[in-house]
């Protein structure tokens, strides 16, 4: 049996010159947990060319959705960015990943800190009612260079609060904090600085981030993971694993940049 399902592209959306997303069919045998990723890609010269991509879609969705950067000389994304409706994509049969609610101790506020396409797994997580259960608030922070990179903003702000099944939970618990580093915007600055200096929780009227009570999920640029990972370790935060619930989790697998 091949390691991949062959799925059909259903839609493609180009957000910017460097970002696009697409949906494709989903084999009923493909099951995943919110926050996980799998290897996806294309057949190139008779061989699978694949990279790690988090699922953007809800684990209960009938179709799959992925968010990607476009790297002009990137082996995969130079090709993947040109996919069209009806094309075939490869979807790895074995989803994995560390951004699981079940790896975290229940707590007060769960901070989801993502930069760039690191938003993807959080999109899946915020569409899962079970994500909300162990926490009072879910604070979704998306850091980008420019305003046009704040993908899914409309869905998060306008659609999810009115979603038939999730709307009530989203209105009660989800707080969205988009921030931009290289343009003027309502919130500016790096995700790291905004948490370390306390501005982000203060802007939201929330108490300062506290290891005893709050939880963190991290996904994004290598710099973010290195800087934030070092801060968490220095402040004695305990990393969650699939055998031991902790205070934070980090996704280290990431698409080519």
Query: Looking at beta carbons only, is 23 or 221 nearer to ligand A2P?
Result: 221
DSSP β-bridge partners for residue 232: none
Q: State both tokens at 127.
A: 């569409």
Other Cβ atoms closer than 10 A to 17: 10
**Smallest gap from residue 206 Cβ to ligand A2P (A):** 20
Site string for ligand A2P, 144-163 (x = CB under 6 A): xx------------------
Per rule CB under 6 A, is residue 109 in the interface with ligand A2P?
no
| CA 5/CA 82 separation, integer angstroms | 20
**Smallest gap from residue 222 Cβ to ligand A2P (A):** 8
- What are the residues whose beta carbons fall under 8 Å from the beta carbon of 205, sequence distance 6 or more? none
Per rule CB under 6 A, is residue 252 in the interface with ligand A2P?
no
**Smallest gap from residue 148 Cβ to ligand A2P (A):** 12
| CA 110/CA 224 separation, integer angstroms | 18
Query: Looking at beta carbons only, is 32 or 177 nearer to ligand A2P?
Result: 177
Q: Where are the beta strands (DSSP E) in 160-242?
A: 174-180, 215-219
Cβ pair 18, 67 in contact under 8 A: no
Q: State both tokens at 229.
A: 């990972």
Per rule CB under 6 A, is residue 191 in the interface with ligand A2P?
yes
* Among residues 25, 63, 181, 188, the one that binds ligand A2P under rule CB under 6 A: 181
Only segment of 167-175, 202-210, 219-227, 233-241 that touches ligand A2P (CB under 6 A): 219-227
**Smallest gap from residue 225 Cβ to ligand A2P (A):** 8
Query: Looking at beta carbons only, is 90 or 250 nearer to ligand A2P?
Result: 250
Question: What are the CA-CA distances from residue 85 to residues 12, 54, 57, 79, 217 (Å)?
Answer: 7, 20, 18, 14, 33
Q: State both tokens at 148.
A: 């046009």
Query: Looking at beta carbons only, is 89 or 139 nearer to ligand A2P?
Result: 139
| CA 184/CA 243 separation, integer angstroms | 43
Length of the chain: 257
The separation between the first and the last C-alpha atoms of the chain, rounded to the nearest angstrom, is: 31
Side-chain half-sphere exposure of 229, counting CA atoms within 13 A = 13
**Smallest gap from residue 19 Cβ to ligand A2P (A):** 10
Per rule CB under 6 A, is residue 143 in the interface with ligand A2P?
yes
Only segment of 7-15, 143-151, 166-174, 234-242 that touches ligand A2P (CB under 6 A): 143-151
* Among residues 95, 107, 114, 116, the one that binds ligand A2P under rule CB under 6 A: 116
Site string for ligand A2P, 55-74 (x = CB under 6 A): --------------------
Name the site residues for ligand A2P (rule: CB under 6 A). 115-116, 143-145, 181-182, 190-192, 221, 223-224, 227
């Amino acid at each position: 049996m091949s390691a991949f399902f062959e799925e059909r592209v259903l839609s493609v959306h180009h957000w910017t010159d460097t970002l696009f997303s697409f949906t494709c069919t989903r084999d009923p045998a493909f099951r995943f947990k919110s926050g996980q990723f799998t290897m996806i890609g294309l057949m190139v010269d008779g061989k699978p060319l694949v990279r790690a991509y988090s699922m953007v879609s809800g684990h209960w969705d009938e179709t799959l959705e992925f968010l990607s950067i476009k790297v002009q000389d990137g082996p995969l994304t130079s090709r993947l960015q040109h996919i069209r409706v009806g094309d075939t994509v490869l979807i790895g049969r074995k989803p994995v990943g560390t951004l699981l609610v079940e790896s975290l101790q229940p707590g007060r506020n769960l901070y989801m800190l993502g930069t760039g396409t690191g938003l993807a797994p959080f999109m899946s997580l915020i569409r899962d009612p079970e994500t909300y259960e162990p926490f009072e608030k879910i604070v979704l922070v998306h850091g980008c260079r420019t305003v046009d990179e704040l993908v899914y903003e409309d869905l998060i702000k306008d659609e999810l609060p009115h979603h038939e099944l999730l709307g009530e939970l989203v209105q009660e618990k989800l707080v969205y904090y988009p921030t931009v580093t290289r343009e003027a915007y309502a919130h500016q600055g790096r995700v790291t600085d905004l948490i370390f200096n306390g501005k982000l929780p203060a802007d939201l009227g929330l108490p300062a981030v506290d290891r005893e009570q709050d939880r963190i999920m991290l996904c994004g640029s290598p710099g973010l993971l290195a800087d934030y990972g070092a801060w968490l370790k220095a402040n004695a935060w305990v990393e969650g694993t699939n055998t031991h619930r902790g205070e934070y989790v980090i996704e280290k697998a990431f698409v080519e940049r």
